[in-house]
Chains A and B, each alone.
Chain A
Amino acid sequence: MSRSNPSPVERRTLFSWHSERLLPYWLLAPAVVVTVVIVFMPMAQAVFTSFYDLILFRPNASKFVGFGNYVKLFNDPVFWTALWNTIIWIGLTVPLQMGLGLVAALLLNREFPWRGLARALIIIPWALPSVVIALMWRWIYDPNTGVLNDILIYLSIVQSAVPWLADPKVAIYAIIATLTWQGFPFFAVMILAGLQGIPRSQYEAASIDGASTWRQFVHITLPGIAPVLATAGLLRVIWVANSMDVIFVMTGGGPGYATHTLPLYAFVKARQNLDFGYGTAIAVTFTILLGAFVVLYLSRTMREVER
């Protein structure tokens, strides 16, 4: 009886081997399973679909075309227009959001009455649903009834109403302005948290040494919030790149192809024209392009974790 049972010491090592080696995996398992089922499986299926000529309302005419969709894609002028728009979209939106966020954070970090209220209010653009923001700005920009043109005409900045969203040269910048407004609170809050982590004593020491406000900003503040800027910036590149809801509601990608970005083009092809083969080929190509940023982000967070 007593021989068949392991001694308390034996049992403890056996059990602790189980718990210490396997416990993390057990704890991770639910998240991994969910991610595999709802992220990786559809991703694999998207790659698979992109090798087919699959139009949803002709399910029986579906056939394997190998890299056919990709060849078509690289010869498609709309793809290149959309790629260029995507570069402008990310290249302007993220730095503008970051710049505005930095200014807002520096202001909010100062002492002034009602600071708590100001900090709470600044979150509002970030907290509103994208579709609400898009509809709101669509009316703000409206040349016939919108408030922006009214103000500009009243101040004699322009002579007649500017068709912000109907002019292909201006439309994408108008939407970028909207998205900048929507996204800067994210940076403001992240940077504010970073600012508060910088010890006061460093500023005191610098001012005793006679450093100007600008030099304090360059040599203490910026290095202090650099890790936050890098992580938040990378994260935001990925989010902004993928976000198409605001564009879709404001212009639907128009006029013409002037505000088509790659995710929007993929959506229009797959969901509106029901051309799933071609639509997923666009999405897969874009994922590969964005992959570089994802790798950068992952390697950064890995380093942070190991630190």
Chain B
Amino acid sequence: MKFLKTLALGAAFAVSAAFGQARAETVRFWYHFDNPANPMSDLVKKFETANPGIKVEAENVPWNSYYDNLYTALVGGNAPDAAMVKLFAQPRLAEMGALEPIGKQLDAWKGKADLLDNLLDLNKGPDGKQYYLPIQYVVLYLYYRTDLFQAAGLQPPKTCEDFRNAAIRLTNAPQTYGFGLRGGKGGWDQWGAFVLSQGAELKPGGLTRPEAIAANQWLVDLFQKDKVIPPSAPNDGFQEIVAAFKSGKTAMTIHHIGSSKDLVAALGDKVSAVPVPKCGNGQWTSYGDESLAIFSSSSVKDAAWKWISFLAEGQNNVAFNGATGQLTVTKSGSADWKLHERRFVEATVQSLPFARVLPQTSAVSEFVNTAWQTNMQQALTGQITPKQMMEQLQTLFAQ
């Protein structure tokens, strides 16, 4: 009997060992890093050493076509097992049935308690289930040139009125302009600080309220009437606003901590940051999220979970953010954070109380991807009025 038991046990071991050998699982993972010197291969190596049965194929997909490629791969049946994803994409991915709920794994995971408070709530799916595991975050704030403000005897602006006055004072066109507005792709989050703060909302009737239209008019006037924004604004993207700020063409711009290293390298102590100004009675800034998700089409979900949770743990997450220049989602990692200057971390933390994400509806994806940009450009260049812009955008959120 004992002999039989031993034999059975041995056989079971042999089978499981052989099986384990044969099933060296491969996790296909998509991510996007702007930083060319990215440490993903180090993280992959560390993970594969700790988990010998799992191989990770990590692919850096260019950001400009990241979601186009992701949706197409999902529909075409060739999706990765896991990927970096943002909140605005969650409703579409959920509607496609592409996401795998990870609530159970999260509850059993030892790293859960180390995640910063509130992040999991912010990341909840439209149906209340948890699909996203946060990996990094940023909050948009106002960059300003300390030397130019000091020379003009100005304080960093706290309200929209202060902001406009400072911008007017600091403008000496065509040499310098007060504010670098991103009117091209991806500029909706700057726009939000001035318009979503004053009662505009991305829902039926939310954009055509009188106060929302007035706020949009105020912003367009900064460009057309006050002329405190460079004339290139309608086509300016991230590269352009950063280049103009670094070269001293603009005295203020709105972006997040991800660009602080680059700006400090160019400007040193002459650059600092404060939360975006309070406009009317409200203050709004964009919470820039990034999470990891597992796709329902994956055949190696357990291995994929091991990989994504590995990236969200303490020091791994710090290494990950070292490459992206963003902020860690873990308490242990935040405790002694050395990747950014203190003043930028403080501006970020001070902005958290009013940092928001856009509502999770499918129309928001179109708003972010194309609609905001075309309408803003038309309004800035006078092809339509700011009121017409809001009315056209409202049609996206008709139901």
Contacts and interface: CB of A to CB of B under 8 A. Distances in A.
* Secondary structure call for the B interface: helix
Given A56-B72, A166-B236, A274-B71, A254 B230 contact: no
Interface in A143-187: 143-145, 159-161, 163, 165-168, 171
Size category, B interface: 35 or more
B247 A144 contact: yes
Contacts of A166: 183, 231-236, 381
Size category, A interface: 20 to 34
B380 A255 contact: yes
Contacts of B173: 160
Given A144-B249, A254-B374, A256-B378, A56 B71 contact: yes
Interface stretch (B51-59, B155-163, B207-215, B362-370): B362-370
B34 interface: no
Interface stretch (A1-9, A30-38, A68-76, A265-273): A265-273
Given A56-B71, A142-B243, A254 B234 contact: yes
A254 B373 contact: yes
A257 B369 CA distance: 15
B101 to A, nearest CB: 19
A271 B380 CA distance: 26
Given A160-B174, A166-B381, A272-B369, A57 B362 contact: yes
A251 interface: yes
Interface string B35-62: 0000000000000000000000000000
| Chain A CB within 10 A, most for which of B247, B381, B384 | B381
Contact of B184 (A159, A161, A254, A273): A254
A167 B224 CA distance: 13
A253 B378 CA distance: 12
A194 interface: no
B232 A143 contact: yes
Given A56-B72, A59-B96, A145-B249, A256 B232 contact: no
A110 interface: no
A252 interface: yes
Contacts of A274: 71
B177 to A, nearest CB: 9
A59 B362 CA distance: 14
A77 to B, nearest CB: 11
A168 B381 contact: yes
Interface string B212-237: 00000000000000000011111110
Interface string A57-84: 1110000000000000000000000000
| Chain B CB within 10 A, most for which of A57, A143, A144, A168 | A144
Interface string B361-399: 010001001100111011011011000000000000000
B229 to A, nearest CB: 11
Contacts of A145: 243-244, 247, 249
Contacts of A57: 71, 75, 92-93, 95-96, 362
A56 B235 contact: no
A58 B365 CA distance: 14
A58 B231 contact: no
13 contacts: A57-B95, A59-B96, A144-B232, A144-B240, A145-B243, A145-B249, A159-B174, A161-B232, A163-B235, A166-B234, A254-B373, A255-B378, A272-B369
Interface of A: 56-59, 142-145, 159-161, 163, 165-168, 171, 251-258, 268, 271-274
Given A166-B231, A252-B185, 9 more contacts: A144-B230, A144-B247, A159-B174, A165-B235, A166-B183, A166-B235, A167-B231, A254-B377, A257-B378
